[in-house]
Amino acid sequence: MLIYKILRSGEWAALQAEGETTGAPVDEADGFIHFSTLDQVRETASKHFAGEDGLFILAFEADDLGDALRWEPSRGGALFPHLYGALRLADVRWSRPLPLGMGGHVFPDDMT
């Protein structure tokens, strides 16, 4: 199962340069890296990245993240994937720009 992480361009550039990251400021403050499922990622973008351009969406295979990935309740009791460890460039399955369109962020057509 693929799970998704939205990064700002500087965060994505840092991950590419360093090979791993402890995440965005919200991730560091919370002590884990926030991910979303396919069903959750659009709401995540609109709630936490509204009006922001220059974003990237990264896909990860949940099983590849091992025991450091935990499913925990968040918005409305839904289970969200949280990574208790570094986000590694080697684990990225794919990355794509997440441009801001007239009605919000424009997600890749082939996200499954």
pLDDT in tens, 45-86: 999 999 999 999 999 999 999 999 999 998 688 899 999 999
Residue 64 lies in a domain: yes
Residue 112 lies in a domain: no
Residue 17 lies in a domain: yes
Compute the average pLDDT of residues 18-34: 95
Residue 105 lies in a domain: no
Q: Comparing C-alpha atoms, which of 93, 84, 3, 82 is closest to residue 39?
A: 3
Query: What is the CATH classification number for the domain harbouring 88?
Result: 3.20.170.20
Domain of residue 46, residue span: 2-99
Q: Which residues pair with 56 in a beta bridge?
A: 7, 97
User: Number of structural domains, the chain?
Assistant: 1
Residue 20 lies in a domain: yes
Residue 107 lies in a domain: no
In terms of pLDDT, which residue wins out, 111 or 80? 80
Q: Which residues pair with 72 in a beta bridge?
A: 80
pLDDT at 112: 58
